[in-house]
Amino acid sequence: MRLRALATTAACGLALLFAAAPSASAAEGRFTYVYNDPSGAPHLGGLVDPPSGVCITLREVEHPWTTPAHSPRNDTDATAVVFSEANCEGDHFSLRPHGGHASERLKVRSVVFS
């Protein structure tokens, strides 16, 4: 009887071990972009070691009445997919890891890293 209880306990422990959620991962490095303040002056914004697999709306340009950010540069170790709208909606474009970038013609409001 003890052997059966021990086996059941061990099986449950292994099931919990394999069912545990994976640890959160992050893209290592920096992602930068240019945004304009209400007066039109340009500023450099950025994310350092952003989480992977999570949509990030750029706070400076999250509202539709603001001018979108532009000139994104991906110096992380993950692919960055940038979106023209908040909440990773609208048109999208992929930037390769370690230096992928785009010109000021690419308008950006959100990003997700793979």
* pLDDT at residue 53 in the model: 97
Section 101-113 average pLDDT: 97
Sorted by where each starts, the structural domains of the chain and their CATH numbers stand as: 29-113 (2.60.20.10)
pLDDT digits (tens, 9 = 90+) for 19-55: 433 445 899 999 999 999 999 999 999 999 999 999 9
Q: Are 30 and 48 in contact (CB under 8 A)?
A: yes
pLDDT digits (tens, 9 = 90+) for 52-80: 999 999 999 999 999 999 999 999 999 99
Q: Decide if pLDDT at 6 tops 60.
A: no
* pLDDT at residue 25 in the model: 82
